[in-house]
Amino acid sequence: MTVAVSSVGTSAARPIRLSFDSTWLLWVGIIAVLLFLVVSPFVYLVITSFSAQGTGEFTFANYATAYGRARYIDALLNSLKLGAAAAALAGVFAVPLAWAVARTDMPGRGLTRILVLATFITPPYTGAVAWILLAGPNAGWLNRFFMLLTGAEAGPFNIYSFTGLAIVIALYSFPYIFIFTTAALELVSSEMEDAANILGAGAWRTMRRVTLPLALPAILGGLIICFLEAIALFGSPAMIAIPARFNVVTTQLFQFFGNPVRVEVAAAYAMPLLGVTVLLILVQRLLTRRKGFVALTGKGGERRPIRLGRWRWAMFGYAMLVATLSVFLPYLFLLQAAFAKAWGRGFSLDNLSLRNFHFVLFEHATAAQSVINSFLYAGAAATAAVILTLGVAYIVTRRLVPFGGILGFLCVAPFVIPGVVLAIGFYAAYAPPPLALYGTALILILAFTTRFLPIGFVNASAAIRSLNPEMEEAVRVLGGSRLTALRRVVAPLLKRSLLGAWLLIFIPATRELSAAIFLYGPNTKVASVMIFDMSEEGNFEYLAALALILQVLTLPLLWIGMKALGRDFMLRRNAT
Amino acid sequence: MKGLARLAAVLALAIVPAVARADIKALEEAAKKEGELTWYVAHYTSEGAEELGAEFTKLYGVKVNVVRTTAQVAYQRLLQDLKNNQAVCDVFSSTDVGHYVRLKAEGKFEKYTPETAAKILPAFQNFDPDGYYHTTSAGLVVLTYNTSKVKAEDAPKKWQDLLDIKWKGKVSTGHPGFSGYVGTWVLMMKNLYGWSYFEKLEKNKPQIGRSINDTVTALNAGERQVAAGADGSTLFSAARGNPLAVSYPSDGSVLIIAPSAIMKGTKHPSAAKLFMEYLDSVEAAKINAKHFAIPLRPEVPPPPGAKPLSEIKTVRPSVAEIDKGIPDVIEQWRDTFGN
Amino acid sequence: MSKLSLRNIARRYGAVDAVADFSLDLAPGEFVSLLGPSGCGKTTTLRMIAGFVPPSAGTIEMDGRQISSPATVVPPEKRRMSMIFQSYAIWPNMTVGENVGFGLQVRRLSRGEIDRKVDAILDVVQMRGLKDRYPAELSGGQQQRVALARAIVVEPEVLLLDEPLSNLDANLREEMRFEIRRLHDEFKITTVYVTHDQAEAMVTSDRIVVMNRGRVEQIDAPHVLYARPRSRFVAGFIGRTNFLEGSLQGSDVRFDGFSAAASVLEGSNASGALLYSLRPQAIGLTTQKPNGGRLAVEAEIAGRSYLGEYWDYQARPLGAAKPLRVSMGPNAVFEIGSRVWLEIDPAAMVRVE
């Protein structure tokens, strides 16, 4: 005979305390900040798109201008096509690699992971520069090599083409799909596969009928993320599409900020980008909700890798091929250019020079400063984002206010706003008076913080959810406020996770271009903008030197992250 | 009497500079107190601009924030600054003359005529009779080519040669939407040959960069073989040992006369004035010569290997044409070349 | 001939022996449980039988054919066994019908055959109406049944179950215990069942293998295990018991608080310390001194707990340091501190190692 015990869930909604707790001030402050960072720019963006320039009265004229010219619509279509092509290619690169690394006995899995990480920390515009060196139609190294081998007049590779751009984008965004796919494959309980095996299914049939279908929603999710990245990129399309003579949304937006500045038209033009993003995120959510695809129960036991037999080496070869395209070749020729007097002259002793580094570091007034700026702003943004999202995640997870879900939503919302659009929103909202943040470091830091709120929030919520609330209740029973509990118990316990989130924000923030290109001022140039500017004179030697400096400076941070959080901390869905 | 008059004249000439020099001294003091100035510059390559800035700092102890971009980007930046009531730029040096016409009309410049402006080559003086902006740099758009790929006798000799089918896939240019030099050149070609010139050029699939100096790197890399480039940056790169050469087109090199001006409401008025003095000075001219730009001071000879201006046939659109014309050709270019 | 033979199976991980020297012969159609606390090696043994893990030593044979040895292992897909996992491992991307029919598809039966067999087995587990549902729409118990149906429909040589009931609540667990035994009886499949719950093992099994720290403690039928445990571990693990330490002195064995003639106790002719297990149900409590061949020991009630179905008494023999646990029916009420007589049948005292 059992006695029924009604369980009082510790996470049940508590009634709001009527007594005044000074912690409430803090919570209200946080909510105000969120509104400032996320809601306001978005609202301004929408309002601006309907405002006439100068007068501010309501008008549809901006939309008419934005979609009036065939060239502008072409740019939009080009972006969509580019996104699809890049995502598909990235899938081709990533999915086999992810499967091989997560599920098989392919040799060199650890090496492959490291190489994917190296790809991940390479900014797409650096990759674009390297590929210009590699595949410029006449002078590119690959073409020269081909001509040497075959004696042909011209090489087959032309980076200045739609295909070229799609490949470059795919090469530097495939790690996203890799991360999503490995996470999904590792979540699929091995009992699912064991069950198929014991019923007679061999490795391939099991993969086909059990593993891949279960991982499919995550893979599709990764493809969608890739697509969204591709359409929001500015640097690589600007460097490649202009000579390739086609336009995409981001380069077109840049033109609207040209001569004269037409923020209103830019805002109107940016709306479809936002719309497409929101739509696709919804689709991705829908995909993963159906059929309860989360299958992470059970002990798992030993994970048995699939034996590939002879195919092990073929798979390894494929992995090395992808790594060659994304890491080995690009960095080799970036190094060559950085140490060359004129990169076109090739590998010869008299072409070696340290002049480029000297120029960039000591002679160029703003280059060295731009690197410092990058790190300073990224650090400030990462700190702000981590603290803010910790607070919000705490409020939401512990249900301290009604409708906490909305706060969580606000924190994650910037994910659906492409960096470019976010920047324009910030520009519209905060550059002019009353705040007059134009050209200041603050507007850049705010934009970066907002851009990376989602990462911070996802990490913080996962981490707080893993904590037992009773530990904080123990503090409060003994007389401490919630803030004390947060400061003295929660934050110290979550040190690792917070560090991980900080790094996960800091590292991408140092190389952010799409948002920075619209918000920087002459004194607040960051390294990514500097690199882009340098590309306008085609000075690839200086460019390569600066890009390599940026990469080298990132390595110690990566090392710290790996020491504190494990070798693959950047390749996991969250840092915990 | 004649001798006395002459003596008086000589004395006067000796005194005037002395008086002028006293003014300059006061300017230098004030500038040093201000400490720095910001220079939006499209003339010169980054290297050239940096060197000019560094020399100024060496001479007067005033820091120069060199913001070197292409002309249209500089203009865009300036407009944004003005729209947001931020006085960031102190001295504005663009290669699109149209910018000056418009900004002067809107009263955005500080009127100041540096003493050195009267000492430059007469051809470049009095660009703006009202004294709001003054020539500080001049250059040419010429035909350039890679000597290791193209023999001198095969190199293009006039602008129309670029349209020859044998150069298909081998031509390099900048983009008028970015570079003032390129914008002026495009306008000139349109004036001479009509827009069909570019429709035909499009068939040769040129590589389009942004700055006109992009042509130098494209040729150096061997990516392209011939270009519509700037004489200064090309010859400078050649002097460094790169396989480049200039071919002065027989139908006229396009002369670019580019002024500078002080922005109204500048936070560093003395430094800005001193800088304007400097830009037309002998020291600056020497640096220009070193970078194969046309030295504006008669005291400084053109560098070895460069033809003196008097020996070159030049053509140039009028200021009014540039003002109206460049925005138009930018749009036309985008329509023809797709971007 | 035995259906499945494990000969001196061992599995090492580094310096640790997860399983050591495990031997077992299963007769065709027999239901054997591997029972023990977590970490005892039962799941590892099961996975070696399934072929997911190769043995470090020893061999496994089925129907006389060797299927596992340290050198070669027939892969799981070729063993014609079935397994039910702790998480059920029902594939969420397939319907109930597709799940159950998977193994038949692999065996290349015709469409019609598959449908027929699937429908039949779903009837047996009473899930016929849910054939087109997806697992996310099913309860835990229903998913369990699907797992059973999927495993049985292929008519496996051996059926393996890895703690299948631990995710169910208490009531459902009881129901499913009977269900599993019923299905076993109906289809007569040789079954190996891993669990840490001794009640489960007792209800379902023909024989139980008690394991501790990788080693076999005892293999016997449930009632034999209960009545005649051979080691301290088994006695303590299966049901509750009293451990009595005694020493031989002359012709008596002296315990804490009482003694018994050595002649009536089994195994009393050994030297040194003797350990006996005595079940609480084997002791009677009376107010009057019992007469007859049993041991009578005077004691005092030191504590008691009422559990509804029975009383759990702590009765301390006079002069003893520790009390003995005694189970009595719900109507046998004794006050704390009252004097009672313990009635002990010496034949129920089992000597254990």
pLDDT at A4: 37
- CA pair distance C119, C110, nearest whole angstrom: 14
Listing DSSP states for B86-123 in one string gives ----SEEE-S-HHHHHHHHHTT-EE----GGGGGS-GG
Domain assignment present for A267: no
Residue A4: list chain C partners with CB under 8 A.
none
CB atoms within 10 A of CB A311: 14
Task: Please state the separation of Cα A323 from the chain's center in Å.
Answer: 20
Count of domains for chain A: 2
- CA pair distance A200, C122, nearest whole angstrom: 21
Tokens of B233: 């940056």
Q: Is A187 on the interface with C (CB under 8 A)?
A: no
pLDDT at C93: 83
Say if the Cβ atoms of A194 and C53 lie within 8 Å: no
Is 80 exceeded by the pLDDT of residue A464? yes
Q: Parallel, antiparallel, or unpaired for β B36-41 and C283-286?
A: unpaired
Q: Are B226 and B184 in the same domain?
A: yes
Residue C167: list chain A partners with CB under 8 A.
297
CA angle A235–A239–A240, rounded 5-degree value: 115
pLDDT at A568: 65
Q: Three-state DSSP class for A138?
A: coil
Tell me which DSSP letter residue A51 carries: B
Tokens of C6: 């494990």
- CA pair distance C146, C122, nearest whole angstrom: 8
- Report whether A95 contacts A219 (CB < 8 A): yes
Q: Are B236 and B152 in the same domain?
A: yes
Average pLDDT over chain B, rounded to an integer: 87
Is 80 exceeded by the pLDDT of residue A296? no
Rounded to the nearest 10 degrees, the angle between the axes of helix B180-193 and helix B71-83 is 120
Most confident of A86-95, A220-229, A553-562: A86-95
Domain assignment present for A15: no
Q: Indicate which of A69, A363, A537 best probes the interface with B, i.e. most B CBs within 10 Å of its own CB.
A: A537
Is 60 exceeded by the pLDDT of residue A113? yes
- Report whether A334 contacts A133 (CB < 8 A): yes
Question: What average pLDDT does this structure show over A519-539?
Answer: 85
- CA pair distance B280, C123, nearest whole angstrom: 100
Cα R_g (chain B), whole angstroms: 21
- Report whether A508 contacts A452 (CB < 8 A): yes
Listing DSSP states for B235-295 in one string gives HHHHHTT-SEEEE--TT-EEEEEEEEEEETT-S-HHHHHHHHHHHTSHHHHHHHHHTTSPP
- Report whether B48 contacts A539 (CB < 8 A): no
How would residue A1 be classed by pLDDT, with cut points 50, 70 and 90?
very low
Q: Are B124 and B273 in the same domain?
A: yes
Q: What count of residues does chain B have?
A: 339
Domain assignment present for B307: no
pLDDT at A318: 94
- CA pair distance C229, C348, nearest whole angstrom: 11
- CA pair distance C299, C336, nearest whole angstrom: 11
Q: What is the CATH number of domain C240-351?
A: 2.40.50.100
CA distance A332 to chain B (A): 17
Residue with tokens 């994304």: A326
Q: Which chains touch A (3 or more CB pairs under 8 A)?
A: B, C
Is 90 exceeded by the pLDDT of residue A571? no
- CA pair distance C94, C111, nearest whole angstrom: 17
pLDDT at C28: 93
- Chain A residue nearest residue B332, CA to CA: A71
Rounded to the nearest 10 degrees, the angle between the axes of helix C111-124 and helix C96-106 is 130
Q: How many contacts, defined by CB atoms under 8 Å, are there between A and C?
A: 91
User: CATH 3.40.50.300 residue ranges in chain C?
Assistant: 4-228
Q: Indicate which of B41, B46, B146 best probes the interface with A, i.e. most A CBs within 10 Å of its own CB.
A: B46
CA distance B150 to chain A (A): 14
* Residue C179 vs residue A165, higher pLDDT: A165
CATH number at residue A233: 1.10.3720.10
Q: Are B111 and B200 in the same domain?
A: no
Tokens of A235: 């640097």
pLDDT at B13: 56
CA angle C53–C58–C63, rounded 5-degree value: 85
- Report whether A168 contacts A159 (CB < 8 A): yes
Q: Three-state DSSP class for A166?
A: helix
- CA pair distance C38, C48, nearest whole angstrom: 17
Domain assignment present for A27: no
Q: Are A361 and A324 in the same domain?
A: no
Domain assignment present for A50: no
- Report whether C50 contacts C160 (CB < 8 A): yes
Say if the Cβ atoms of A195 and C89 lie within 8 Å: yes
Listing DSSP states for A390-454 in one string gives HHHHHHHHTT-STTHHHHHHHHHGGGGS-HHHHHHHHHHHHSSTTT--TT-HHHHHHHHHHHTHH
CA separation, residue C45 to residues A52, C41, C350 (Å) = 77, 6, 29
How would residue A20 be classed by pLDDT, with cut points 50, 70 and 90?
low
How would residue A297 be classed by pLDDT, with cut points 50, 70 and 90?
very low
Q: What count of residues does chain A have?
A: 576
Q: Three-state DSSP class for C69?
A: coil
Say if the Cβ atoms of B72 and A259 lie within 8 Å: yes
- CA pair distance A143, A576, nearest whole angstrom: 45
Residue B45: list chain A partners with CB under 8 A.
537
Average pLDDT over chain A, rounded to an integer: 82
**Domain containing residue B264:** 2-136+259-302
- CA pair distance B106, B8, nearest whole angstrom: 44
pLDDT at A2: 39
- CA pair distance A413, A278, nearest whole angstrom: 9
- CA pair distance C324, C346, nearest whole angstrom: 15
**Domain containing residue A383:** 354-576
Question: What average pLDDT does this structure show over C46-70?
Answer: 91
CA separation, residue B18 to residues A167, B12, B298 (Å) = 66, 10, 21
Q: Residues C183-205: pLDDT tens digits?
A: 899 889 999 999 999 888 998 99
- CA pair distance A495, C194, nearest whole angstrom: 41
- CA pair distance A242, A228, nearest whole angstrom: 21
A521 closest CA partner among B19, B88, C91: B88
Q: Are B287 and B246 in the same domain?
A: no
Residue A3: list chain C partners with CB under 8 A.
none
**Mean pLDDT, 10 residues at a time, chain B of 339 residues:** 62 54 79 89 86 91 88 86 84 92 91 88 86 90 92 91 91 91 94 94 90 88 90 86 89 91 91 91 90 87 81 88 89 86
- CA pair distance B211, B46, nearest whole angstrom: 11
Tell me which DSSP letter residue A251 carries: H
Q: Indicate which of A259, A348, A520, A539 best probes the interface with B, i.e. most B CBs within 10 Å of its own CB.
A: A259
Q: Are B181 and B210 in the same domain?
A: yes
Phi, psi of B285 (to 5 degrees): -60, -35
Count of domains for chain B: 2
Q: Does ipTM exceed 0.85? A: no
Q: Three-state DSSP class for C351?
A: strand
For chain C, first and last CA: distance in Å?
A: 32
Q: Are B275 and B245 in the same domain?
A: no
Say if the Cβ atoms of A257 and B76 lie within 8 Å: yes
CA angle A56–A60–A62, rounded 5-degree value: 75
C148 closest CA partner among C169, C112, C123: C123
Tokens of A225: 């993320």
Q: Are B131 and B144 in the same domain?
A: no
Cis status, amide bond into C92, omega within 30 of 0: no
pLDDT at A434: 77
Q: Residues C233-276: pLDDT tens digits?
A: 998 888 889 998 888 888 888 888 888 887 778 777 777 788 88
How would residue A111 be classed by pLDDT, with cut points 50, 70 and 90?
very high
Domain assignment present for A498: yes
- Report whether B266 contacts B87 (CB < 8 A): yes
Average pLDDT over chain C, rounded to an integer: 89
Q: Residues A303-348: pLDDT tens digits?
A: 677 777 788 899 999 999 999 999 999 999 999 888 887 777 777 7
CATH number at residue B44: 3.40.190.10
How would residue A7 be classed by pLDDT, with cut points 50, 70 and 90?
very low
pLDDT at A356: 86
Domain assignment present for A3: no
Q: Are A326 and A433 in the same domain?
A: no
pLDDT at A44: 86
Q: Three-state DSSP class for C211?
A: strand
Q: What is the CATH number of domain C4-228?
A: 3.40.50.300
Tokens of C276: 């006996």
Listing DSSP states for B42-62 in one string gives -SS-HHHHHHHHHHHHHHH--
Is 90 exceeded by the pLDDT of residue A489? no
- Chain B residue nearest residue A70, CA to CA: B335
- CA pair distance A341, A353, nearest whole angstrom: 6
Say if the Cβ atoms of A292 and C150 lie within 8 Å: no
Q: Residues A254-271: pLDDT tens digits?
A: 888 776 678 888 888 888
Tokens of A537: 């004179």
Q: Are A110 and A151 in the same domain?
A: yes
Q: Which of A202, A213, A302 is the closest to C53 by Cβ?
A: A302
How would residue A289 be classed by pLDDT, with cut points 50, 70 and 90?
low
- CA pair distance C23, B81, nearest whole angstrom: 86
At a CB cut-off of 8 Å and minimum separation 6, what does A576 contact? A459, A462, A463, A466, A496, A497, A500
CA separation, residue A175 to residues A82, A93, A97, A284, A326 (Å) = 18, 9, 10, 18, 11
Q: Which of C53, C76, C87 is the closest to A191 by Cβ?
A: C87
Q: Are A218 and A111 in the same domain?
A: yes
Q: Residues A360-393: pLDDT tens digits?
A: 888 777 888 899 999 999 999 999 999 888 888 8
Q: Which of B170, B209, B339 is the closest to A241 by Cβ?
A: B339
User: CATH 2.40.50.100 residue ranges in chain C?
Assistant: 240-351
- Chain A residue nearest residue B65, CA to CA: A365
- CA pair distance A91, A96, nearest whole angstrom: 8
- Report whether A263 contacts A431 (CB < 8 A): no
Domain assignment present for B166: yes
Q: Are A360 and A325 in the same domain?
A: no
Question: What average pLDDT does this structure show over C147-171?
Answer: 89
pLDDT at A15: 52
- CA pair distance A361, A358, nearest whole angstrom: 5
